[in-house]
Structure formats: structure tokens, C-alpha cells
């Protein structure tokens, strides 16, 4: 479903969202830090795209760059982000404001807390609708009731105050508000992290249904690869500002090529039927103020060799709509076999401790 926007001349043949060589930096007292480094991905209409990786790898920075919501010390020194052909990095604030809500919406982990506690939920949604559409209050209330139904809330409760809702209900109410203007793309940044597993599951299911029923595309950002596995059809695995593996979910999950993806899968054992307990990746990601010269994952990778120390590997195509950044693709069968073995990572853990490398978590 394509939403027009009087302010923009969209290219109907362009992908919904396309990031190309996206680089995002933060200026800090330690200098210019590159939080997202040369990242490219495409999100098509009707797609649920996932960005997954450990805390600090740059997922939220990507979301903020897309939405034009980077903090004041953040910048996009190179690369491009196009939304239906429109270059977002060149837009004025006023133009970006016109795109947000109408075409792009954000649901963040703390979204539910963004609801005004002293205003009825219906009032907040009605105001959001009337700020962008010339409709009567009755019409906007009718739309609010519909939105409540869409997100699985009882419309009879729409005149409640936020404190009368549980966390999961508030998060749904916020999702209802983000849907008010029929955006084409929702960016959901850890949308369910603060919620219990059952509510999390319900909300993720609802996001999927929204894609099916309303044709809304979604980018889900999560550190939890099982959330991504349940909801997305394509994904990017991020590590330390870089995309390590990228492509369609089925290929990445059935035939992962990157040791980091293999490690992440181990950390969420429900993904691997044969294995009942969790094997964590030893150590922690490098500090972006002090990045290693070679592959960013090298220090934590049980398969690293001297070759990995030169420069970070480029993304290499390993199938249709599947790419991975690793110098060891030639031993991928061995990596897949050994990555499921606790010993493989335990060996590395003792090396990391012995060399005083990245600290054990
Ligand atoms: N305003 C800022 N100034 C300086 N550095 C920042 C700023 N915001 C984020 N960073 C750094 O940029 C890197 C990427 O952070 P980001 O929040 O995008 O990661 P993330 O993967 O979303 O992690 P999390 O899940 O913890 O939010 C981190 O090293 C973080 O410390």
C-alpha cells in the first residue's frame, strides 16, 4: 500500500527503503567515532526486515539516521538513505517532519512511556490525527476506535488514562497511534524488550498481521535473534558498526556463513533443536573508540587466522540474496559443525583470558 505525500515526488519503481554505504559518526571528547560503518541494505514493500546484534553494534543509530532523529553530535558523513527514491540525508528538518508519522513511524522500547500520563489515550490519538488530517473529532474518534481494534485493544477502553493500562497495553496503544496516519514503514526498535514473553509474542504477531492486512513494512531491531527469526523475512546481522551477514532469513538460518551469526544462534538455543543449553560468545565487542585493524569479530572468533588481521572482510555474495563478511567461507561446513560444540568456544574463552584480550563476560 503506497501512501502519497503532497510534499514529495516518490519514485514508484524504487525500493521502499535503501541504505547504501551508510556511515554514521558521533563527535565526542575522544574524537569522531564511527558507530555505523559502510552499511547497505534494502527493505522492500510488504517486508519485515530485521537488524540484529549485541548492544552497541549500531542498530539504533541506523534507525535514528533513517528517521532523521540522530542526537546533535551525530552525523552521516557518507552514504545514502533513500525512501522510495527520496534522499533522506539531504532533507531539511521540516521535510523530515512531513515524512514522519505520514510515511515513517518509530516504535521504540520506551514508546509506551511517551504517552502523556495526564491525557486520555483517545485525546492523544485524536490530536495526532487532527494535526495531519482535516477531520472532525467524531471522525478521528471513530478512527481511534478502529486503531484500537487493529492492535487488539478493546475500543471501550480508549478514553482511559495511560496509568490504567498495563505495559503491554500501553505499548499497543502507542502502536495504534503510530498507525493513525497509515505509514508505509514502521521502525520498531526493541519494541517488546520491556515486556513479558507472552505479551512480547502477541505484539510481534500483531506486527506481522499488520504487514499482511495493511501492507505495512516493518524494520524490527532486536538483540534477540529468536525475535528476528519469528517475525522477519529478511535480516542484517550487525557487529561493531558493520553488517556481518545479510539476506533472506531462511538461507541465513539454515545455512549461516558467518561465525558471528553462528555464535548468536548458539546464544538462543531455541533456534537449534538439537541443543538444549546456551553457549555464549566469550568476551565482548570492541570499543568503537579503539577498533581492531582486521575483522572486528576476530578476537572473539574461534575460526580466526592471521589472514583475518589485515582489514575487515568485505561482504561477499554466498547465494541469491545472501552475503557474509568473513575470510573463512572456504571452511564453512567445518565452522557450522564446530560452532554447535561448547568446546569450540570454551577453547577460545581460555585463549581470551590467557592473552588478556577482550574480557570474559
Ligand atoms: N550520542 C552518542 N554519542 C556518542 N556515542 C554514541 C551516541 N549514541 C550512541 N553512541 C555509541 O554508538 C555505538 C552504537 O550505539 P547504538 O545505540 O546505535 O547501538 P545499539 O546496537 O542500538 O545498542 P543498544 O541495543 O544498546 O541500543 C555505541 O558504541 C554507542 O556507545
Mean pLDDT for 117-142 is 93
| pLDDT tens-digit map of 315-346 | 999 999 999 999 999 999 999 999 988 888 88
| pLDDT tens-digit map of 273-293 | 555 567 888 889 999 999 989
For ligand 1, atom 9: residue with the closest CA: 61
Q: How far is the CA of 246 from the centre of ligand 1 (A)?
A: 21
Say if residue 77's pLDDT is above 90: yes
Say if residue 15's pLDDT is above 50: yes
Least confident of 66-75, 279-288, 296-305: 279-288
> Under 8 Å CB-to-CB from 134, ≥6 apart: which residues?
none
The H or E element spanning position 220 is strand 217-222
Ligand 1 contacts CB of residue 164 (under 6 A): no
Return the best residue to mutate from 28, 36, 57 for the ligand 1 pocket (most ligand atoms within 8 A of CB). Answer: 57
For ligand 1, atom 16: residue with the closest CA: 58
The H or E element spanning position 31 is strand 31-43
Structural fold of domain 17-232: Rossmann fold (3.40.50)
Q: Which atom of ligand 1 is nearest to the CA of 241?
A: 14
The H or E element spanning position 271 is none
Residue 171: predicted pLDDT: 86
Ligand 1 contacts CB of residue 31 (under 6 A): no
For ligand 1, atom 7: residue with the closest CA: 26
Every domain of the chain and the residues it spans: 17-232, 256-354
Residue 109: predicted pLDDT: 77
For residue 31, list its beta bridge partners: 28
Q: How far is the CA of 47 from the centre of ligand 1 (A)?
A: 26
Task: Tell me the pLDDT of the chain averaged across its residues.
Answer: 88
What single DSSP character describes residue 151?
A: T
ipTM tops 0.95: yes
Mean pLDDT for 26-41 is 95
Residue 357: predicted pLDDT: 46
Ligand 1 contacts CB of residue 71 (under 6 A): yes
| For the chain, percent of residues with pLDDT exceeding 70 | 92
Q: Which atom of ligand 1 is nearest to the CA of 36?
A: 14
Nearest Cα to Cα of residue 59 among 187, 195, 186, 241: 241
Q: Are strands 217-222 and 185-189 parallel, antiparallel or unpaired?
A: parallel
| pLDDT tens-digit map of 191-222 | 877 777 777 788 788 888 888 888 889 999 99
> Under 8 Å CB-to-CB from 153, ≥6 apart: which residues?
169, 172, 173, 176
Q: How far is the CA of 106 from the centre of ligand 1 (A)?
A: 17
**Runs of H (alpha helix) within 33-150:** 59-67, 93-99, 121-132, 137-150
Amino acid at each position: 500500500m503506497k501512501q502519497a505525500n503532497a510534499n514529495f515526488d516518490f519514485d514508484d519503481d524504487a525500493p521502499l527503503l535503501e541504505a547504501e554505504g551508510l556511515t554514521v559518526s558521533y563527535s565526542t571528547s575522544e574524537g569522531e567515532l564511527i558507530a555505523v560503518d559502510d552499511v547497505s541494505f534494502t527493505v522492500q514493500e510488504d517486508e519485515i526486515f530485521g537488524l540484529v546484534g549485541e548492544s552497541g553494534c549500531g542498530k539504533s543509530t541506523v534507525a535514528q539516521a533513517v528517521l532523521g532523529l540522530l542526537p546533535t553530535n551525530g552525523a552521516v558523513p557518507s552514504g545514502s538513505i533513500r525512501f522510495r527514491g527520496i534522499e533522506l540525508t539531504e532533507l531539511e528538518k521540516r521535510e523530515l517532519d512531513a515524512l514522519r508519522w505520514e510515511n515513517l513511524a518509530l516504535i521504540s522500547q520506551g514508546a509506551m512511556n511517551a504517552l502523556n500520563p495526564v491525557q486520555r489515550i483517545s485525546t492523544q490519538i485524536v490530536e495526532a490525527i487532527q494535526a495531519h488530517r482535516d477531520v472532525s473529532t467524531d471522525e478521528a474518534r471513530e478512527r481511534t476506535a478502529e486503531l484500537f481494534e487493529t492492535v487488539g485493544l478493546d475500543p471501550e477502553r480508549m478514553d482511559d488514562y495511560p496509568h490504567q493500562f498495563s505495559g503491554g497495553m500501553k505499548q499497543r496503544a502507542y502502536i495504534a497511534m503510530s498507525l493513525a496516519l497509515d505509514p508505509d514503514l514502521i521502525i520498531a526498535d526493541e519494541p517488546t524488550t520491556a515486556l513479558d514473553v507472552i505479551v512480547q509474542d502477541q505484539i510481534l504477531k500483531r506486527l506481522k498481521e499488520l504487514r499482511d492486512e495493511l501492507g505495512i513494512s516493518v524494520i524490527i531491531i532486536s538483540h534477540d535473534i529468536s525475535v528476528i527469526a519469528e517475525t522477519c523475512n529478511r535480516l542484517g546481522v550487525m557487529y561493531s558498526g558493520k553488517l556481518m551477514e545479510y539476506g533472506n532469513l531462511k538461507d541465513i538460518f539454515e545455512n549461516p556463513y558467518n561465525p558471528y551469526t553462528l555464535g548468536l544462534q548458539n546464544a538462543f538455543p531455541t533456534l537449534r533443536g538439537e541443543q538444549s543449553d546456551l553457549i555464549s560468545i566469550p568476551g565482548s565487542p570492541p570499543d568503537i573508540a579503539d577498533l581492531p585493524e582486521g575483522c572486528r569479530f576476530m578476537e572473539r572468533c574461534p575460526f580466526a587466522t592471521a589472514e583475518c588481521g589485515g582489514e575487515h572482510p568485505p561482504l561477499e555474495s554466498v547465494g541469491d540474496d545472501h552475503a557474509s563478511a568473513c575470510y573463512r567461507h572456504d571452511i564453512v561446513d567445518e565452522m557450522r559443525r564446530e560452532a554447535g560444540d561448547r568446546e569450540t568456544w570454551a577453547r577460545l574463552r581460555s585463549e581470551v583470558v590467557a592473552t588478556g584480550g577482550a574480557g570474559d563476560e
